[in-house]
Structure 1
Amino acid sequence: MHEAPSSEELLGAVIGFLTEKAAPQLSGQAAFHARVAANALALVEREMAQRQPADARARALYAALLNDTSSPLEALTKEVCARIRSGALACDDPALLAALREITSAQLTIDQPTYSGLKP
């Protein structure tokens, strides 16, 4: 059994240290860099927790849109783009818009969780 702190716990501890202990004692550029470092680590923490399910959902949405259950996400994404460019997939297609809205919201939740556009 592995009893050491998990990666998520370690990230949380460092983020907490930077935001609650270090940054308040710093000023100027050093305080700014401590906040930037804490924000970068928080992004990594969200990526670790949310990337895999977000990508799986994006793959499922694109697979349904393209009727292709075997291709990886990268290939499906390229195919969606190619079909939009060629006109084979209309930009106002409700299924496309719903898929893109969901995929974009998932990405924003990882990148910018406080983005006002995410609020209902």
Structure 2
Amino acid sequence: MQDEPTPTELVKAVADFLRNDIAPLLSGHQAFKLRVGINALDLVVRQLTQAAPAEAAEQVRLKEMLGEDGALLELNRVLASRIADGSVGLETAGLKEHLWQTTLDKLAVDQPNYASYKREAGRGRDDA
């Protein structure tokens, strides 16, 4: 079994190489396409390092709020169904906080440089 470098380290090394050594050599459309590729590699690194803990926390919140056990996808289906039938709404204890935290966690992976995310992520829970 190969332990090092990890997949995360490999992807990060490729992104860093492209960003630091290749990007300065390109211009125009080729530079743009390279930046798109680097952004995709950076996204993969964030998915590998941040998505699993965020999804585990989301699953725990859903289990507590719904009073059910299950896989994350199934719990989200139950939540969506209950919202659709009106048995769960923003007045439901924990729903608003769950939706907000889930949104922030997903933005941390998908769009960490998004200005609104940066602003909200920097706020304390009591500020919201």
Q: Taking structure 1 as the reference length, what is the TM-score of the superposition? A: 0.91
Question: Following TM superposition, by how much is the alpha carbon of 1:35 offset from its aligned partner in structure 2, in angstroms?
Answer: 0.4
Q: Distance in 2 between matches of 1:3 and 1:80?
A: 39
Amino acid in structure 2 at the alignment position of 1:85: A
Deviating more after overlay: 37-46 vs 11-20: 11-20
Q: Which residue of 1 aligns with 2:114?
A: 115
Is structure 2 residue 10 aligned with structure 1 residue 10? yes
What is the CA-CA distance between 1:4 and the residue it aligns to?
3.9
92-101 vs 77-86, which moves further: 92-101
Q: Does 1:84 align with 2:83?
A: yes
Q: Separation in 1 of the partners of 2:92 and 2:67?
A: 15
Which position in structure 1 is the counterpart of 2:42? 42
Offset of residue 25 of structure 1: 0.6
Deviation at 1:86, TM superposition (A): 0.5
The letter of the residue matching 1:14 is: V
CA distance in 2, matches of 1:10, 1:80: 37
| One-letter identity of the residue aligned with 2:6 | S
Supply the distance in 2 between the matched residues of 1:110 and 1:117 (Cα, whole angstroms): 14
Task: Check conservation: 2:65, 2:93, Cα contact below 8 A.
Answer: no
| Partner-residue secondary structure (3-state), 2:17 | helix
- Aligned-residue RMSD, C-alpha: 1.5
Q: Please give the residue correspondences for 1:41-80 in structure 2 after superposition, counting only pairs within 5 Å.
A: 41-68=41-68, 70-80=69-79
Runs (5+) with no aligned partner, structure 1: none
Q: Secondary structure at the match of 2:94?
A: helix
Structure 1 pair 103–27 and aligned structure 2 pair: CA distance change class (3 A): same
TM-score (norm 2): 0.86
Q: How far off its partner does 1:3 sit? A: 5.9
Kindly report which structure 2 residues correspond to 1:18-29, keeping only aligned pairs within 5 A, or say none. 18-29=18-29
Deviation string, structure 1 residues 12-64 (Cα, Å, up to 9, x no partner) = 11111111111111011110111000000000000000111111011011111
Amino acid in structure 1 at the alignment position of 2:62: Y
Secondary structure (helix, strand or coil) at the match of 1:30 reads: helix
Identity of aligned residues (%): 34
CA distance 1:114–1:94, change in 2 (3 Å):
farther
